[in-house]
Amino acid sequence: MLFRSRTHFDIRHTTAAMMASQGKVLILDSDAARASDLCSRLRFLNYEPVIPPADVSSDALARERGIAVVIGDMQSDDSLGRTLNELKAQQPSLPCLCLPFRGERRGQPDGGTNWTLDLPLKKSQLTRLLRRAARYQGSERRHRLTGNSTSIRRVRELIEQVADFDTNVLVTGQSGTGKELVARTIHDLSDRSGQPFVPINCGAIPADLLESELFGHTRGAFTGAISDRTGRFELAEGGTLFLDEIGDMSLDMQVKLLRVLQERSFERIGSNKTQQCDVRIIAATHRDLPAAVAAGEFREDLYYRLNVFPIEMPPLYKRVSDLPQLLQELLIQHVGDNAGSLRVSPQALRILANYSWPGNIRELSNLVERLAIIKPQGIIEVDDLPAKYCDASIADPGETNQVSEAMQLSHANLKDHLAALEQDLIRQAFEAADGVVAQAAKLLNMRRTTLVEKIRKYHIH
């Protein structure tokens, strides 16, 4: 049994024990006193701490059910540190709260599931990061910013910094760079994740209808208002309202939006009843808002109200070192289980790295979908690419060299990714079937003999 701890008998722990545990927390720390302190804190917060023996293997830890988060020293060179690194390699999405190594803060591994705990430990930070870890496990597969370029890592850092606060966020960047993905990720990592995320494109709705879309209207408020309508602010109550293309909003609507942001209240069109709102605002635009303010096309006071925490999404041509990962991710989305049978040659990848990508990620996704139809399997060569992608070279030379290096690993990475996904599905099926092979095979829609072969192949216990 992995669990090992000291016994405590005060009223706080008795009360916590009467409540359902919020999940198991694995503690991998060579400092016994600090590990004991963590146990006490975790029990008080109604978590179940798990302290393994020093010689435990990463495989044994991976088989331990119900682990929600790991607390450990990612930089330690002792046996527990090595075990933690092996466990993270097996389960990259497992959140980890990292303790400073010998009192020093070190850079954390890429992947977006590692956050540093400050010393001395603070209850507020520990609670906040444990909650974030629980939310991240649910959101990581739905919404993920793919890539390890410097610019995209910076975006992930900013998202994690602001997610726990209700601060207004302004996401800028060219069309197709993934601004809505940033907004959804912030929402999913915030305390509002259980409440609605409501998007609205302010540039796609006529100015005379936008007010009704945002605030709603009552029956008879204007010609055609045959019934009451709930606005987006009401729909997003308790959650997040994403105002896309805020730079295209008319000046009249800007005034009305500013009042709502200041007063946190609004009225439906045709009603004099004031409604309070508890909504987090995330806005996005492809326009240069400071220039629009200077030209009198955007209100300066609204700009400063929205631009409390700015996040700029880089265009694709400035992060071409992420191309192998992006292509791998998009191939999985468009081709599914057959993603491993379709690859991009290094020569074709260099051509794509030199393209300007005016449509950014959206254009890349469309290209991958087209190529998957034209050539469902095999290797995509330069001749398979549309002519426009073979034009001018604009990518940064250093980034282009990184593309070639990353591409050498992309085929193996894709194979590993699909294998890890398959193992994860098999383990989930076994848990749902209580370990019965025949029932697990039925859940996976495969023959029992096929499942047995895969169990042997992946050494699944």
Structure tokens, 133: 């870890």
Residues of the chain with CATH 1.10.8.60: 321-455
Helix (H, G, I), strand (E, B) or coil at 136: helix
CB neighbours of 412 closer than 8 A, spacing ≥ 6? none
> Any bridge partners for residue 72, and if so which?
28, 98
* β 48-50/342-344 pair status: unpaired
Measured distance CA(235)–CA(261) in Å, rounded: 16
Question: What CATH number has the domain spanning 150-314?
Answer: 3.40.50.300
Measured distance CA(331)–CA(418) in Å, rounded: 12
Q: CB neighbours (10 Å) of residue 142?
A: 10
Tell me what pLDDT residue 20 has. 54
* DSSP code for 259: H
Question: What CATH number has the domain spanning 11-139?
Answer: 3.40.50.2300
* DSSP code for 111: S
The tokens 């088989």 sit on which residue?
A: 63
Closest CA to 43 of 1, 2, 84, 10: 10
Tell me what pLDDT residue 217 has. 85
Mean pLDDT by 10-residue block, N- to C-terminus, for the chain (461 residues)? 40 42 82 87 89 77 77 70 75 79 49 73 85 66 72 90 92 95 91 91 89 88 80 94 95 94 91 91 96 96 96 93 86 68 84 91 92 85 88 52 50 55 76 80 81 81 64
Concatenated DSSP letters of 325-346? HHHHHHHHHHHGGGGGGEEE-H
Length of the chain: 461
* DSSP code for 148: -
The tokens 């034209």 sit on which residue?
A: 374
Measured distance CA(130)–CA(143) in Å, rounded: 19
Measured distance CA(282)–CA(303) in Å, rounded: 12
Residues of the chain with CATH 3.40.50.2300: 11-139
Give all strands of the β-sheet with 67-72 in edge-to-edge order: 48-50, 24-28, 67-72, 96-98, 114-116
Tell me what pLDDT residue 253 has. 93
Q: 0.75 cut: is pTM over it? A: no
Tell me what pLDDT residue 18 has. 39
Question: Do 364 and 357 meet the contact criterion of CB atoms below 8 Å apart?
Answer: yes
- In this structure, CATH architecture of domain 321-455: Orthogonal Bundle (1.10)
Q: CB neighbours (10 Å) of residue 25?
A: 26
Torsion region of 441: left, alpha or beta (phi above 0 gives left; psi -120 to 50 gives alpha): alpha
Measured distance CA(437)–CA(429) in Å, rounded: 9
Closest CA to 46 of 23, 62, 80: 23
Helix (H, G, I), strand (E, B) or coil at 69: strand
**Half-sphere exposure for 131 (CA within 13 Å, toward CB):** 16
Tell me what pLDDT residue 235 has. 94
